[in-house]
Amino acid sequence: MTTDTMTALPEGALGIEATRVELFAPVASFRDPMFPGLTRCLPVPAPSALRGMLAAATGRAEEPVVLGYSAHAAGAGVDTETYHPIAAGGVNPAAGGRVRAIKNGTTVKDRPFLAHLTVTLWIPEPDGHRIAAALRRPVWALRLGRSQDLVFVRSVSAVLLRSTDEAVVGHALAPPGGHDAATAVTVRLAETIHADRMTSRYGDYLWCAEPAARMPVRHALHDGDQAVWLRPAPQAERR
């Protein structure tokens, strides 16, 4: 169920107007591209996956918006999936292009997944309002990870992000050097993936599996007590 609380911000407020979107996925799986041939699962969705989901909502080919987010899962598990490799060069058209079973055409692999994934997005205006409207009536089904992993919009709110030097880090994704939480790990995530899948651009993030407390932060904004780090739109970084 979606709670819509898009209200006007106080007149004369100082900060960055943004839309906060809270998402929930019962099950989601994000394959780590750093391990080709294996099915290692990323602990959080990549920015490319989130922008792809937003593009599904708006119906555009891509949504390279400024984006900040926080993510964590309540648990994890492993699925057993059947893969059907596609034959190269149009071999075996009678089998729909698939490799024959007697040629090891069917492969069973374990696929790790996250359970009860919660994601909070912060999208500055004017893109925030535009995407909020699209999330009310998305063009395509909202998914995160595999095609069967549906995601639900829990709430959409107007917020004001202000600069801060101290905030609760929680599960927010921060740039390297954004904070000094002892439990933080560095995750390498895809920022953008070209339509032909031949070119991807990656970025490094700090992330805490256990929520980090209030502490000094650098180059951060805050929404209430929560620290927020906005990632520039991909086009802006290429200029």
| pLDDT tens digits, 11-70 | 445 799 999 999 999 999 987 766 565 667 899 999 999 999 999 999 998 999 999 999
Closest CA to 69 of 171, 221, 138: 171
Domain count along the chain: 1
Closest CA to 231 of 94, 153, 121: 121
Q: What residues make up the domain containing 221? A: 3-7+16-79+114-238
CATH number, residue 141 = 3.30.70.3120
The verdict on residue 85 lying in a domain is no
List CB contacts of 113: < 8 A, sequence separation 6 or more: 27, 28, 29, 41, 76, 77, 78, 79, 145, 149
The verdict on residue 182 lying in a domain is yes
| Alpha-carbon torsion angle 189, 186, 215, 69, nearest 10 | 10
- Which two structure tokens, joined as six digits, stand for 183? 């439990």
Question: In terms of C-beta density within 10 A (0-12 exposed, 13-18 middle, 19 or more buried), how is residue 1 classed?
Answer: exposed
Q: Please say whether the beta carbons of 205 and 175 come within 8 A.
A: yes
The verdict on residue 215 lying in a domain is yes
The verdict on residue 94 lying in a domain is no
The verdict on residue 99 lying in a domain is no
pLDDT band at 183 (very low <50, low <70, confident <90, very high): very high
Higher pLDDT, 197 or 221: 221
pLDDT at 94 exceeding the cut of 90: no
pLDDT at 97: 54
The verdict on residue 97 lying in a domain is no
pLDDT at 4: 46
The verdict on residue 169 lying in a domain is yes
pLDDT in tens, 48-57: 999 999 999 9
The verdict on residue 170 lying in a domain is yes
